[in-house]
Amino acid sequence: MEKISQKASWGQFWYDPKKRGYLFQFILFITVIGIGSFLVSNTQQNLARQNIASGFDFLGQEAGFEISESSIDYWADDSYQRALLVGILNTIKIALVGNFFAIILGVFVGIFRLSPNWLLNKISETYIEVVRNIPLLLQLFFWYAVFTEIFPDVKESLNPLPGVFVSQRGLFFPIFKEHFIWKWVWITFFTGIICTFGSSYFLKKKWEKTGQSWSLLPFASIFLLILPFLVWIFGGAPHQLDIPELGGFNFSGGMTLTPEFVALMLGLVLYTGAFNAEIVRAGIQSVSHGQWEASQALGLSRWQTLRLVVLPQSLRVIIPPMTSQVLNLIKNSSLAVGIGYPDFVAVANTTMNQTGQAIEAVVLIMAVYLFFSLSTSFLMNYYNRSQQLKERGA
């Protein structure tokens, strides 16, 4: 009697999915904790035996290495903290500029892919297939080698456009000479962007109320072109160019982009642009053919149809995979370490080699990229929600 009831209770426990679930989770919990503590204790012993310090105290120490490119002042006697900050800023720079060009390239090539022009179509397809099927790191090495081996010495720089020079030392091009009014032109321009968005909102409200539709174009041109231009005129219209000039061993003046930066940009933009193009193509194709025919019947041109009817609808399909491409570019920018561009991973790697504090360095790398990834996907999800169809009861 006793035995049977015991058996039954065990059976009851085992065959109740809920209780069994608790058991599984308990086992998982114990296993994870067990493995975790095993690794931690091993690590502590190993660190103690090898006399490696732990903790983030090293951040305040003197870094003692130079960084070839920096957007803020940095000297070798600055702290590791500042060196890492330089790396983070370089990564952000690459991520912003790279994604900007990669998305533009993707949109154009994606549209080219659907062009009725056979040649344009095939060239775009070849570009996409070639670039997507070769590792990015190899492409970065290739572009870097093009700079360092194919392009001539500084003294015999190529001069494809007046004032623009290409050589082993990088890309040199003219910029406007420094003048206080440029700052104000930029400020007007950026305020203009905000005002354009504001007037677009205002016009939409007005359209909803009265049905009168106004073109945004005059507003946009006033805010983005005419006002900055007027500021420039009233500031004395400075137009002197700072043209790079060859003096001694290198160019001076103008703007310089290092071969590392240009190679990294070329590689990242061409690679991600190919993936973006496929996403844009799929997005456009997802819009039903009836939409094209309907807008043709309404008398819209091909370009108008694309801009006013098809692209807004395909955006809903495009944004989610495009988000992961944006993130991919950010993560792939870590390959900069392969060609010696001082991005965050490169600086963290140098830090790791100098201090020997591997765990802290890897944790820092992971934390920084996780922060980038999470904040980007948060922003893109926000944008995605604004583009989705508004449904009832939402």
Partner 1 sequence: MSLKYTKNPEKRSLPMMQGFAKWMKKNLFSTPINSAISLILLGLLVKLLGPFLNWLVFNATWEGTAQTCRHNDGACLVFIKEKFIFILYGFYPRELLWRPTLAIAFFIGLCFYSREISRWNKRLLSYWLILILIWAFLLKGGLFGLESVSLDKWGGLPLTLILAVIGIIFSYPLGILLALGRTGYLPLVRSFCLGYIELIRGVPMISLLFMASVMFPLFLPDGLVLPKLMRAQIAIIMFMSAYMAEVVRGGLAAVDKGQYEAADALGLSYWQKMLKVILPQALKIVIPPTVNTAIGMFKDTSLVLIIALSDLLMTTKTSLKDPKWLGFSVEAYVFVALIYFIFCFSMSRYSKRLEKEFSYGGRS
Instruction: Give contact residues for partner 1 (rule: CB under 8 A).
Output: 17, 21, 24-25, 28-29, 32, 39, 42-43, 45-47, 49, 116-120, 123, 129-130, 132-139, 141-142, 145-146, 148-150, 331-332, 334-335, 337-338, 345, 349, 352, 358-359, 361-362, 365-366, 369-370, 373-374
User: What gap in Å lies between CA 172 and CA 157, rounded to an integer?
Assistant: 10
Neighbours of 274 (CB within 10 A): 23
Half-sphere exposure of 55 (CA within 13 A, CB side): 4
Nearer to partner 1, 46 or 71 (CB): 46
- CA 322, 326, 328, 332: dihedral to nearest 10 degrees? 150
User: What gap in Å lies between CA 53 and CA 383, rounded to an integer?
Assistant: 44
Smallest gap from residue 321 Cβ to partner 1 (A): 11
In the block, which residue shows the tokens 């922003």? 379
Smallest gap from residue 298 Cβ to partner 1 (A): 20
Nearer to partner 1, 68 or 301 (CB): 301
Nearer to partner 1, 16 or 245 (CB): 16
Smallest gap from residue 229 Cβ to partner 1 (A): 31
Question: Do 56 and 360 form a contact (C-beta atoms < 8 A)?
Answer: yes
Nearer to partner 1, 120 or 224 (CB): 120
Nearer to partner 1, 114 or 146 (CB): 146
Nearer to partner 1, 146 or 227 (CB): 146
Nearer to partner 1, 163 or 321 (CB): 321
**What DSSP string runs through 267-332?**
HHHHHHHHHHHHHHHHHHHHS-HHHHHHHHHTT--HHHIIIIIIHHHHHHHHHHHHHHHHHHHHHH
Question: Do 241 and 174 form a contact (C-beta atoms < 8 A)?
Answer: yes
Smallest gap from residue 296 Cβ to partner 1 (A): 15
Smallest gap from residue 383 Cβ to partner 1 (A): 19
Q: How far from the centroid of its chain's Cα atoms is residue 43's Cα?
A: 35
User: What gap in Å lies between CA 157 and CA 53, rounded to an integer?
Assistant: 49
- CA 350, 354, 357, 360: dihedral to nearest 10 degrees? -30
Smallest gap from residue 142 Cβ to partner 1 (A): 4
Nearer to partner 1, 199 or 328 (CB): 328
Smallest gap from residue 46 Cβ to partner 1 (A): 5
User: What gap in Å lies between CA 71 and CA 81, rounded to an integer?
Assistant: 15
In the block, which residue shows the tokens 């608790």? 22
Residues sharing a CB contact under 8 Å with residue 214, sequence separation 6 or more, in sequence order: 203, 206, 207
Smallest gap from residue 129 Cβ to partner 1 (A): 7
- SS3 call for 227: helix
The CA angle 126-129-130, to the nearest 5 degrees, is 80
Smallest gap from residue 261 Cβ to partner 1 (A): 19
3-state secondary structure 335-380: HHHHHCCCCHHHHHHHHHHHHCCHHHHHHHHHHHHHHHHHHHHHHH
Nearer to partner 1, 195 or 339 (CB): 339
Nearer to partner 1, 59 or 330 (CB): 330
Smallest gap from residue 233 Cβ to partner 1 (A): 36
